[in-house]
């Protein structure tokens, strides 16, 4: 009997402890951060769970930012790539620290549908009421002012031949797209792998939009197929009339000296498309960052009336004779609101020369675009 | 000897019986005659004549059909239009007892009544030589290819311009032609006709590459507006809306680009107003004028 | 007299035997050996396809490309193989692989009629001499003239009703389908 009562009491105590632990790990308790690094880590732990309220407990009052602004800055908005991303990993480095403030570098790794995204922030951490808290600068990026923009979508629709039509009746012809130039190179493919890459440009020479893809087959010295690949994300697939897109096709592990012939297979399909949005690429320049790496930087400006959710920047580099020698790309994790410049930066290979010629094009993905 | 004579008589008897049987069967075979007409046209039907006595099984096997029918020898076999609707060779077989007689019946296509018209391409640049092709496949009402000669007329017309007409004799069921595209853009009506039958296709004749591309600048709230004159090809046709026109501004340090779309005949974009910057314009292989901001053109 | 009688007997006997022999040949089992080589070739249409020789020397208005020439030989042969199988087994489902449109419809109609009448057609295909006379400017249609050596048997149930060995002339129109050329018109001509 006594043993039974003891067991019941023990179970009650354990239950209370578990409840307390659960409460403490939820939003119920504001864990204090004992170190600047701990404060940054705790903040990002809540960001990982998209718990903005929890994260705000580690944001210093001196930041003068509110939860909504913080959530927009860290979690993204307007259907941007950041809104579809998940924080995977955080690495912190204390740059300097004293009794009352510190500088912590936070390198974050986000996963998204288009691959990994990396972000680096140097965060000022201060002691506030005995706890370390992060000064999160208020997001000062402008928003589009209230206005009325006239939007006249230009759009193509396709009427294909009907099932009941006689067999000789023509369907609408596929667009005429042509590879303007191409170059096969031996390269480090940017992911640590050596291999052959085919870079080039394809133009829609027709008067209708085209969905293009480019395939390439490497043929060896004995006629054997060394590899067969197609362009995937280093190309703008939808091309308007007279639009030119770069493409890059990677063949990891293949040596250029083993390749006798390259067979290209451009493919173009007729697709419904919209002529909008128009995205200007302004102030393009190559800069060298603090680590000595070259970056192609600039600003994107959406000159249309609707938000572009996910901009995709593709840069083509040329040698002195105008042959393409490299294609790199990058996604911008901020949406493009009308007329609001958004900066971008794309890595530049160190071996493309001191002042390479380049061309930047912008691909875009928009959610629920009318006419798209 | 008598035995031998008896054997010999038996032999003669057997041979005589066999001969009689053979003659009887030969007679029966001769009695079971099937005659088919020399010339039959699709869907016209035909009458086949038989001779002989008794009943037989009649088979007709040919394109699109296979029938089996009990018939009386000596009576005509009527084949309806539906039985002989498809052109080609039919095997008519009459079987009585163990004996079968076969005849071939060749059915010719009827008069031309339908065209399958293949016009290519669906889009073509203006003023292109031999760029449009038309192929007419001539059929009768029963989907038989009419292989006898027949005259097909091709007619290509854009708007109010005088149409181009070609008369071509179809051979082995096919007539074809090649035509130049007109200098004027628009939806060309391409018609193939034979007798009262005509089939219409549309060939979109589209403007060629831009020609004499020019643009001008104007101050704007956030920079400078660049706008082309109406973009036309060398024949004066407006280049289709949606065509990309690229403006490039270089100021020595940075470069700004806009892939503008032609809308309502012109392309327009905004670029930063950088004094001394050079702005150029291009569309496909065509390049246009240059403008230096704050300087001469 | 005796000689004449003997002669009549011999001729009569030979006629009888010949007649019976012919009838026996007709009423016996179908020429399975010859037919089986084609019709029972279930392992892939190309392997059992008949011999096809194609002459493109007088094709107009477009010249036939080498790859197209090879494709036509392959696909036209396959079409005859598929047609022979379909008519022998009364299976219209074998047609769409090689036939389309009018040709497919007419063959399907024939198969339906054969099924209704309890008939089958077996084709022993001894090869095709084909001449391409028209190849459309954009390369999607080709007209062929085919001289085919065929042995055609009509069967009622299991018994052969008729066997014909013919040299037949066909006009065929082939058009590009999904991944191959298909026969759109197949019409025997004089």
Longest dimension (CA), chain A: 95
Residue B133: closest CA among chain C residues belongs to which residue? Answer: C137
pLDDT at B11: 55
Q: Rounded to whole angstroms, how far apart are CA atoms A217 and A233? A: 18
Taking contacts as CB-CB distances below 8 angstroms, the residues of chain C near B61 are 110, 114, 119, 121, 154
pLDDT band at A20 (very low <50, low <70, confident <90, very high): low
Query: pLDDT tens digits, residue range C42-54?
Result: 223 456 889 999 9
Which of B114, B244, B285 is the best substitution to test chain A (most A C-beta atoms within 10 A)?
B244
Overall average pLDDT of the B193-215 stretch: 92
pLDDT at A368: 62
Q: Is B174 on the interface with A (CB under 8 A)?
A: no
- For A67, the token pair is 């939860």
Is domain B114-206 annotated with CATH 2.60.40.1930? yes
pLDDT band at B5 (very low <50, low <70, confident <90, very high): very low
Do C72 and C96 share a domain, yes or no?
yes
Neighbours of A277 (CB within 10 A): 22
Find residues 194-233 of chain B whose CB sits inside 8 Å of chain A: 199, 201, 206-207, 222
C106–chain B nearest CA distance, Å: 4
Q: Rounded to whole angstroms, how far apart are CA atoms B215 and B228? A: 4
- For A371, the token pair is 């006419």
pLDDT > 90? residue A246: yes
Fold of B210-292: Immunoglobulin-like (2.60.40)
Q: Rounded to whole angstroms, how far apart are CA atoms A117 and A315? A: 18
> For the structural domain made of B32-108, what CATH number should be given?
2.60.40.2950
Do C87 and C98 share a domain, yes or no?
yes
Domains and CATH numbers, chain A: 29-135 (3.10.450.100), 176-273 (2.60.40.10)
Q: Rounded to whole angstroms, how far apart are CA atoms B55 and B37? A: 22
Do C21 and C41 share a domain, yes or no?
no
Q: Rounded to whole angstroms, how far apart are CA atoms A325 and A357? A: 10
Taking contacts as CB-CB distances below 8 angstroms, the residues of chain B near C171 are 145, 147, 172-173
Do C82 and C102 share a domain, yes or no?
yes
Do C78 and C127 share a domain, yes or no?
yes
B32-108 and B210-292, same CATH topology? yes
Within 8 A by CB and 6+ apart from C59, the residues are C132, C133, C134, C135, C142
A250–chain C nearest CA distance, Å: 28
pLDDT band at A16 (very low <50, low <70, confident <90, very high): low
Overall average pLDDT of the B168-172 stretch: 95
Q: Do B59 and C162 touch (CB under 8 A)?
A: yes
Find residues 83-102 of chain C whose CB sits inside 8 Å of chain B: 102
- For C31, the token pair is 């020429």
pLDDT at B13: 53
Q: Rounded to whole angstroms, how far apart are CA atoms B135 and B118? A: 5
**Closest CB to A284 among B135, B207, B255:** B255
Predicted ipTM of the assembly: 0.77
Do C5 and C21 share a domain, yes or no?
yes
A361–chain B nearest CA distance, Å: 8
Do C8 and C100 share a domain, yes or no?
no
Q: Do A243 and B257 touch (CB under 8 A)?
A: no
3-state secondary structure chain A: CHHHHHHHHHHHHHHHHHHHHHHHHCCCCCCCCCCHHHHHHHHHHHHHCCCHHHHHCCECHHHCCCHHHHHHHHHCCCCCHHHHCEEEEEEEEEEEECCCEEEEEEEEEEEECCEEEEEEEEEEEEEECCEEEEECCCCCCCCCCCCCCCCCCCEECCCCCCCCCCCCCCCCCCCCEEEEEEEEEEEECCCCCEEEEEEEEEEECCCCCEEEEEEEEEEECCCCEEEEEECCCCECCEECCCCEEEEEEEEECCCHHHEEEEEEEEEEEECCEECCCCEEEEEEEEEECCCCCEEEEEEEEECCCCCECEEEEEEEEECCCCCEEEEEEEECCCCECECCCEEEEEECCHHHCCCCEEEEEEEEECCCCCCC
Query: pLDDT tens digits, residue range A210-219?
Result: 999 999 999 9
Do C2 and C41 share a domain, yes or no?
no
Domain ranges of chain B: 32-108, 114-206, 210-292
Sign of CA dihedral A273, A279, A280, A286: negative
pLDDT > 90? residue B254: yes
Query: pLDDT tens digits, residue range B231-241?
Result: 999 989 999 99
As to burial, measured by CB atoms within 10 angstroms (0-12 exposed, 13-18 middle, 19+ buried), residue C85 is: buried
Q: Rounded to whole angstroms, how far apart are CA atoms A309 and B243? A: 24
pLDDT at B162: 86
Residue A357: closest CA among chain B residues belongs to which residue? Answer: B255
C61: preceding bond cis by omega (within 30 degrees)? yes
pLDDT at A32: 57
Q: Quote the number of domains for chain C.
A: 2
pLDDT at A347: 86
Do C101 and C17 share a domain, yes or no?
no
Q: Is C28 on the interface with B (CB under 8 A)?
A: no
Structural domain that includes position C15: 1-29
Stated as kind and residue range, the H or E segment containing B7 is helix B2-31
Least confident of A141-150, A181-190, A291-300, B111-120: A141-150
């Amino acid at each position: 009997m006594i043993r039974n009562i003891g067991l019941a009491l023990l179970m009650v105590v354990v239950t209370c402890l578990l409840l307390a632990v659960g409460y403490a790990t939820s939003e119920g308790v504001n864990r204090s951060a004992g170190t600047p690094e701990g404060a940054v880590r705790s903040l990002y732990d809540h960001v990982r769970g998209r718990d903005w309220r929890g994260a705000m407990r580690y944001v210093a009052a001196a930041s003068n930012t509110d939860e909504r602004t913080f959530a927009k800055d860290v979690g993204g908005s307007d259907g941007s790539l950041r809104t579809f991303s998940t924080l995977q990993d955080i690495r912190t480095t204390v740059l300097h620290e004293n009794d009352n403030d510190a500088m912590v570098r936070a390198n974050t790794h986000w996963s998204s549908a288009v691959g990994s995204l990396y972000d680096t922030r140097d965060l000022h951490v201060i002691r506030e009421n005995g706890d370390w808290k992060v000064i999160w600068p208020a997001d000062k990026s402008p928003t589009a002012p209230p206005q009325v923009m006239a939007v006249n979508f230009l759009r193509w629709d396709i009427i294909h031949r009907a099932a009941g039509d006689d067999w000789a009746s023509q369907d609408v012809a596929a667009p005429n797209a042509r590879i303007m130039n191409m170059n096969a190179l031996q390269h480090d493919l940017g992911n640590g792998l050596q291999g052959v890459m085919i870079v080039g440009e394809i133009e829609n020479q027709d008067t209708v939009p085209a969905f293009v893809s480019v395939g390439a087959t490497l043929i060896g010295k004995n006629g054997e197929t060394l590899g067969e690949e197609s362009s995937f994300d280093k190309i703008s697939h939808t091309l308007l009339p007279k639009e030119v897109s770069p493409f890059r096709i990677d063949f990891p592990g293949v040596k250029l000296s083993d390749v006798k012939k390259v067979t290209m297979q451009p493919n173009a399909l007729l697709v419904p498309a919209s002529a909008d949005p128009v995205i200007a690429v302004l102030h393009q320049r190559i800069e060298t960052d603090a680590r000595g790496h070259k970056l192609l930087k600039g600003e994107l400006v959406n000159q249309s009336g609707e938000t572009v959710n996910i901009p995709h920047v593709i840069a083509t580099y040329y040698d002195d004779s105008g042959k393409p020698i490299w294609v790199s790309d990058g996604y911008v994790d901020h949406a493009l609101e009308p007329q609001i410049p958004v900066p971008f930066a794309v890595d530049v290979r160190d071996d493309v020369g001191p002042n390479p010629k380049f061309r930047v094009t912008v691909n875009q993905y928009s959610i629920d675009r009318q006419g798209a | 000897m008598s035995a031998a004579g008896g054997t010999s008589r038996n032999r003669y008897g057997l041979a005589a019986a066999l001969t009689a049987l053979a003659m009887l069967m030969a007679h029966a075979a001769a009695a079971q005659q099937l005659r088919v007409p020399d010339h039959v046209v699709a869907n016209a039907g035909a009458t086949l004549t038989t001779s002989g006595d008794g009943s037989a099984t009649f088979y007709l096997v040919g394109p699109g059909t296979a029938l089996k029918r009990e018939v009386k020898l000596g009576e005509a076999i009527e084949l309806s239009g539906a039985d002989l609707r498809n052109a080609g060779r039919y095997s008519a077989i009459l079987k009585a007892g163990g004996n079968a007689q076969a005849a071939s019946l060749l059915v010719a296509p009827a008069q031309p009544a339908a065209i399958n018209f293949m016009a290519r391409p669906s889009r073509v640049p203006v003023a292109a030589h031999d760029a449009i092709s038309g192929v007419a496949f001539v059929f009768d009402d029963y989907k038989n290819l009419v292989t006898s000669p027949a005259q097909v007329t091709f007619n290509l017309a854009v708007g109010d311009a005088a149409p181009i007409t070609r008369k071509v004799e179809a051979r082995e069921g096919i007539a074809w032609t090649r035509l130049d595209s007109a200098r004027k853009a628009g939806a060309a009506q391409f018609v193939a006709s034979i007798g009262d039958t005509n089939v219409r296709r549309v060939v979109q004749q589209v403007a060629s590459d831009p020609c004499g591309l020019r643009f001008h600048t104007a101050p704007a709230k956030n920079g400078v507006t660049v706008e082309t004159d109406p973009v036309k090809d060398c024949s004066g046709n407006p280049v289709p809306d949606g065509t990309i026109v690229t403006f490039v501004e270089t100021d020595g340090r940075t470069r700004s680009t806009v892939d503008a779309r032609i809308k309502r005949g012109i392309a327009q974009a905004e670029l930063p107003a950088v004094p001394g910057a050079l702005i150029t314009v291009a569309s496909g292989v065509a390049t246009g004028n240059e403008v230096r901001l704050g300087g001469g053109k | 007299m005796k000689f004449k009688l003997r002669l009549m007997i011999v001729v009569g006997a030979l006629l009888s035997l010949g007649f019976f022999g012919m009838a026996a040949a007709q009423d016996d089992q179908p020429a399975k050996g010859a037919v089986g080589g084609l019709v029972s070739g279930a392992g892939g249409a190309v392997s059992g396809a008949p011999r096809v020789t194609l002459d493109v020397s007088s094709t107009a208005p477009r010249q036939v490309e080498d790859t197209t020439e090879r494709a036509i030989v392959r696909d036209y042969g396959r079409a005859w193989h598929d047609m022979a199988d379909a008519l022998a087994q009364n299976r219209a489902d074998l047609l769409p692989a090689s036939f389309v449109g009018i040709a497919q419809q007419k063959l399907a109609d024939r198969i339906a009629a054969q099924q209704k009448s309890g008939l089958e057609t077996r084709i022993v295909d001894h090869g095709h001499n084909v001449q391409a006379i028209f190849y459309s400017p954009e390369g999607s249609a080709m007209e062929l003239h085919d001289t085919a050596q065929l042995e055609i048997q009509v069967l009622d149930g299991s018994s052969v009703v008729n066997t014909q060995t013919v040299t037949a002339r066909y006009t065929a129109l082939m058009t590009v389908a999904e991944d191959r050329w298909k026969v759109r018109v197949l019409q025997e001509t004089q």
